[in-house]
Structure 1
Amino acid sequence: MSMRAAIVVGATGLTGSSLVEQLCNNNEYVSVTVIARRKPTFTHPKLEVKICDFDQIEEQDIEFAHELYCCLGTTIKKAGSREMFEKVDFEYPLAIASLAKKRGIPHFIVITAMGANENSPFYYNRVKGKLEHDLVELGLQRLSIIRPSLLVGDRDEFRLGEKVGEKLLKFAHPLLIGPFKRSRAIDASQVAKAMIIIALYGKQQSVTIYSSDELATCEYPEASEDTISREVLFNWDKLHEGEKVNRDVVINRDKYKLEETVIDKEVHFRHRDQEKK
């Protein structure tokens, strides 16, 4: 058994709460620390809760861990304004990632969105794309970007738009095949499970992006003494139906862009100076 420690921010949300429970019940982890503005209802002997104002979070608030899972996210309606939305969905994750780097935490795992793109016509996706760009620019030791589709599960709050979207996607589920698989709604508990599997068995490269269809097929490998390959974790044959795909995300840090071998070709990270040309 490993002696791993994890930190979770955004632990009271739909995915974050499931992630904390799964981490505490995972034998690989002996310590799980939640940094939150309010205390979660879940308790466990492995769990430590630190109540913190993210506007005032400092380096000493974050101790060393093997992974820092960032599940922070809100809606404009709940935040009250675009300014507050960007604070939760952009400023806080970026500040926490910077502190994690200073603390020497080797792996930062963050949830963004399926359509994240800083040039998107949709405001929500632009903010998520901007976050991804700046996290890459930070030069973290290892960054895993989680891009789920519509998250489903039992929320504490009622969101009409998401409920309507959930029903529509459920109806359209059989029609979403091939490249449209990534648009299928995904259970938040499955996303949480996939994040842990990625932490334990994912590729040891500087930046990796995981699409929603990959997350949906992510399962724990069977116990074996043999080296666990990435092919065990994801059923690539079903995902790409025989198509030969380079699944590595290649980062050109001089230009801060994703090369053509990126998983999601719609997203392009570019140096901000290039936008003026």
Structure 2
Amino acid sequence: MKKTAIILGATGLTGNILLHKLIADDRYDHIKLFSRSKIKGLPHKVSQFTGNLLKLDAFKVDFTGHEVYCCIGTTAKKTPDKNRYRQIDYGIPVTAAKLAKENNIPTFLVISAMGAHLKSLVFYNRTKGEMERDILQQNIPNTCILRPALIGGKRKERRLLEKMGLILFKVIQPLFIGNLKHYKIIDAEDIAQAMINLANTKNCKGIIIPSNDIKKIANI
């Protein structure tokens, strides 16, 4: 049976890689994108629904399929207002999970972050922890949360400090052994492939996957 996949965040680094992987995957005959703006040049198997994702409930009728891939995320630099930040990094993924539950979508995969924790003193990590908790509370049969470390890959926008950080991290990667392996750079390509592999093996019964395991799953 051919499947329908839903992607949130297809204009971002990981989401865009995921999109093109699913386009090339014969197991999927329909891909639905929910975003603020359209992506040009996509094939007919892709349907695009544009609007305000902070009001994702408005898309309930069209939010149907077999799998949801949530790659939504912003940064403190792009969204310095904490209330707005929370609306994006917490509000959109949790609303998507609630819609998936209401529309009987059996598989939900979401990208969180290493360090996510409900009781973290860091706002970013605490927000991610709350997002994880409330998604898991929806009890969607196949729910998987990925916690990548620093994500590597070619971004469209210029992020000088982030680029410098990635270069430095790559130089010291050989020193990341033992417990430090959790902090190794994880390529966006591996995150996208791991999500697809998890969705198709149904090996995501409410599990949280640390960064160092994502690459292993991508290579299955």
TM range (shorter): over 0.9
**Displacement of 1:29 after TM fit?**
0.9
> Residues 69 and 204 of structure 1: is their aligned pair in 2 closer, same or farther, counting only changes over 3 Å?
closer
Aligned ranges 1:96-107 → 2 under 5 Å: 96-107=96-107
* 1:125–1:217 distance in 2 versus 1, CA, 3 Å: same
Answering whether residue 171 of structure 2 is matched by residue 177 of structure 1, we say no
CA deviation digits over 1:82-109, x for unaligned, max 9? 1111111001111111111100000110
Name the counterpart of 1:168. Answer: 168
CA distance in 2, matches of 1:118, 1:161: 28
What residue number does 1:52 align with?
51
TM-score normalised by the chain length of structure 1: 0.75
- 2:214 partner amino acid: L
In the TM superposition, residue 61 of structure 1 has moved relative to its aligned partner by 4.2
Q: Say what the alpha-carbon RMSD is for the aligned residues.
A: 1.6
**Match in the other structure for 1:153:** 153
Q: CA deviation at 1:72?
A: 0.4
Contact 1:62/1:99 (<8 A) preserved: no
The 8 Å contact of residues 62 and 100 in structure 1, kept in 2 or not, is answered as no
Q: How does 1:234-273 map to 2 (within 5 A)?
A: none
Quote the Cα distance in structure 2 between the aligned partners of 1:124 and 1:130: 10
Which 5+ residue runs of structure 2 have no aligned equivalent?
none
Q: Confirm or deny: 8 A CA contact 2:112 2:147 kept in the other structure.
A: yes
- The 3 A distance-change label for structure 1 pair 28 and 127 is same
- How far did residue 202 of structure 1 move? 4.1
Look up the match of 2:74.
74
Deviations 1:206-246 (A, max 9, x none): x01111111112245xxxxxxxxxxxx3xxxxxxxxxxxxx
CA 1:204/1:120 → structure 2, altered by over 3 Å: closer, same or farther? closer
Q: Relative contact order, CA 8 A, sep 6+: which one is greater?
A: 2
2:131 aligned residue: 131
Unaligned runs of 5+ in 1: 221-232, 234-277
Letter in 2 for 1:128: K
1:171 to partner: Cα distance: 1.4
Which residues in structure 2 correspond to 1:194-209 (within 5 Å)?
194-203=194-203, 205=205, 207-209=206-208
TM-score after normalising by structure 2: 0.93
1:28 is aligned to: 27
| 2:7 matched residue in structure 1 | 8
Q: Give the structure with higher Rg (CA).
A: 1
Are the structure 2 counterparts of residues 60 and 126 from structure 1 closer, same or farther at C-alpha, using a change threshold of 3 Å? closer
Identity %: 35
Distance 1:123 1:204, change over 3 A: closer
